[in-house]
Structure 1
């Protein structure tokens, strides 16, 4: 392997690792920020709800929008995103642990046992809106929430005053919320807190200059106990989604790789060879991906061939790396998360042989899909625990595509539905997102699996399961990536 290929391989590992850590720590270099054209609405102040699957970048944006350095990079490097310059951004809840900006999970439990959830989030907004001396003198969250709940008229006056102060300087206040699944330890306590937050976010839309932005997983918005309040439809109407197209995923990779400490210089030279030296530009000491490489898939593929070769084997009969990788990471709704994509590439780079001509090889990409599948299955089980009970009996016993009656036969033999219903009955209200169509028995379970993107139907009859789930769940497929044992 040449020095250039080795450096780029190390850069892929660095970029993928940094972005993965950013999902939990909220910290990443400004140059690792990429704004897909379809994500401009996620930055728009009037898009209160930003929905995204696991690993789609919700925590990334929660962190980046609160960083002056990242906002400056976005404003200069991605002007089409139209991020306003006169903006004050604050954290209202998320993965951090600072109790100065917002109460942590333990404090929230104490507060929700004493006060209405809506009052808690109003107090959080009041802190960031810098209410007057009377409120500012209160130093504990308990005293702040007590004041808000006991002084509804005074709160409205203070909110109006804060709104007018912002208006005088043509400024906007944006309060960001993320990681709603960490509001409490149990789903039973999460629901009222999440509902109260959505209600307060709706309230803030009546002001001119104060907005909340909530990064939320789809499962939260499927829960009737969270969204069942008047006018939720108004919030939902402005919702935007963090969906990643194939071109977006590769553009993210290239943006990060071009700014990696290891391999960045070598990769930028490759880009220059592909699109010309005048296309690349610098912004705030970070390199910005040329516009052509953001949307032109032919150009992207030509560049990826320099990294991974032209074929998934000795010839292109088994596919080309550029398309093969994303196709095998898609779920049943044709969605791929950056986390899965980058995890697969990191594995491919880690497992590249020293004598490979390129930074990564097709065998490493295949192994990367297996690793990404393991990660995605872990995530889906965390979000929907009942999925594990449903899928365990199928592991090692089913090859797809198959007829649905083959799945039914296994579930019937293993008494899977009886086990699931007993488990849900024991959990009661504490059960996290049970299958919504369980009343329809096995046919209902199939509907729920389809809605989760875990399976789809071919020709209306046969069942297919995307590789990103099939591999780690241990189902076979002729000619496909081998299932994990």
Structure 2
């Protein structure tokens, strides 16, 4: 029996419609854009306080989705055990700077300078969020954050009484209220202030665990998770033991692709029909507030064989003319992974979008939507984007990778030290960090690796750079102690590796 015809023209348009910018700030995404990753259930659970994830893994995406009523319902319909229909959500901190929900970085700095304790600041922020619509709010007649914090700091008994009363009210209604904190690298202009504010926030979150209906959720970066100074308070382990990493497995990435194609406004119907005819699987339509979201069938979400079969129908099955070059289904995620094995969903989709464009332009007669040469070039494109993305959160990455251009990895630590010393990398990082921070909010401040501020006795400062790079997945150690850089960052940085994807020169 012949296989159903792949709707090539429809899928070409669907691939081109894949967005290259996945960020949403504080605005909830469109319901049709949301692939609810089954493995992220723990991260989305209101009872999970700490969620660790690097740039592009979904911290801000899920923060915004939880804060949107419709998007929260989309999540809740697919992850029913979370009972999100009985959950209210609000911002405790975000990339927004309008001060309606929480103080901005500038205001937080002023509050500290005015002598307010970090814990009093965050207790005020959380209580303000919980009582935003209440006639009984103690802040109704106070316009400034200074005044609000002052009022609460002067009357801790009132604060405790209000938290207990709010918890009772929520429990009586069978509801919970989650206050979400994202973009926490923006709360201060340097590591000293970030540590003070974040340590105070986490202590407040720990104290509030005594209540059953009031919850706090903190989305934090790996470097903050690894910074011992942030967790230096009694009983911090009660938060860290329940922490969850935001991870994307290979199956999740391909399911995201099928979700993208199946929910495309123009090509979605043709793709869904093809999946039904070729795979015997149907997308389930779910209607929420007048919007229909098509849920990827379980086989295409979880079964390796089904995902590989679907991919092979539209892509070269191998990364060359035969199987010796590797199977496309496994090769692609492997070459987009960082040193910790993590893959940004944005990198994955961008690589495929670029691969389709190149295939259409250069290999139109090959009979596939995604030719293996196009996929290789797509990985190069994704590498450049991912490296630029990482530099936004960790600007010092530019300084440590630039001197490595032209070298081949794996290499010894001494080879890295020599290149960094010749380029005066440590001096450049310190100079940038000491330039003085601008007061306006928006872009994150320049934060050097926190390990540089607390060097380990008996080890050189370049070791701190290596540890920082390992923390964020830019480097790894091989079994024989040498240092390696994954293709994802190596390619765009012009660093070579035997047998790897060609570096961009």
User: Considering the TM-score relative to the shorter chain, is it more than 0.5?
Assistant: yes
CA deviations 1:4-36 (Å, max 9, x no partner) are: 32322332343343xx33343544221322233
Per the alignment, residue 492 of structure 2 pairs with 472
Per the alignment, residue 72 of structure 2 pairs with 71
| Aligned-residue offset at 1:385 | 4.2
3-state SS in 2 of match to 1:215: strand
Q: 1:415, 1:184 → 2: CA distance?
A: 29
| Aligned-residue offset at 1:248 | 1.0
Change (3 A) 1:421 1:254: closer
More helix by share: 1
Does the CA-based 8 Å contact 1:386-1:434 persist in structure 2? no
Q: 2:109, 2:64 → 1: CA distance?
A: 24
Does the CA-based 8 Å contact 1:10-1:349 persist in structure 2? no
TM-score, normalised on structure 1? 0.89
Q: 1:226 aligns with which of 220, 230, 235?
A: 230
Per the alignment, residue 399 of structure 1 pairs with 408
CA deviations 1:303-347 (Å, max 9, x no partner) are: 112232212232232222221111101122111121221222232
Per the alignment, residue 308 of structure 1 pairs with 315
Q: 2:398 aligns with which of 388, 391, 405?
A: 388
Asked whether 1:119 is paired with 2:85, we answer: no
Equivalent residues in 2 for 1:228-377, closer than 5 Å? 228-277=232-281, 279-284=282-287, 285-354=292-361, 355=364, 357-377=367-387
CA deviations 1:179-228 (Å, max 9, x no partner) are: 11222444443332222221221121111210011111111122233222
Per the alignment, residue 87 of structure 1 pairs with 87
| Aligned-residue offset at 1:242 | 0.5
3-state SS in 2 of match to 1:15: coil
Equivalent residues in 2 for 1:94-105, closer than 5 Å? 94-105=94-105
Q: 2:126, 2:224 → 1: CA distance?
A: 22
Change (3 A) 1:93 1:445: closer
Does the CA-based 8 Å contact 1:163-1:208 persist in structure 2? yes
Asked whether 1:48 is paired with 2:49, we answer: yes
Per the alignment, residue 484 of structure 1 pairs with 504
Change (3 A) 1:408 1:157: closer
Change (3 A) 1:117 1:70: same
Per the alignment, residue 141 of structure 2 pairs with 137
| Aligned-residue offset at 1:427 | 7.3
Does the CA-based 8 Å contact 2:50-2:240 persist in structure 1? yes
Change (3 A) 1:13 1:123: farther
Q: 2:352, 2:456 → 1: CA distance?
A: 38
Does the CA-based 8 Å contact 2:380-2:491 persist in structure 1? yes
Q: 2:456, 2:394 → 1: CA distance?
A: 14
Change (3 A) 1:298 1:203: same
Does the CA-based 8 Å contact 1:53-1:217 persist in structure 2? yes
Identify unmatched segments of 5+ residues in structure 1.
none
TM-score, normalised on structure 2? 0.86
Equivalent residues in 2 for 1:88-237, closer than 5 Å? 88-114=88-114, 115-130=116-131, 132-237=136-241
Identify unmatched segments of 5+ residues in structure 2.
438-445
Q: 2:99, 2:417 → 1: CA distance?
A: 50
Change (3 A) 1:350 1:60: same
Change (3 A) 1:116 1:273: same
Does the CA-based 8 Å contact 2:93-2:182 persist in structure 1? yes
CA RMSD of aligned residues (A): 2.8
3-state SS in 1 of match to 2:384: helix
The count of corresponding residues between Structure 1 and Structure 2 is 478
Does the CA-based 8 Å contact 2:6-2:274 persist in structure 1? no
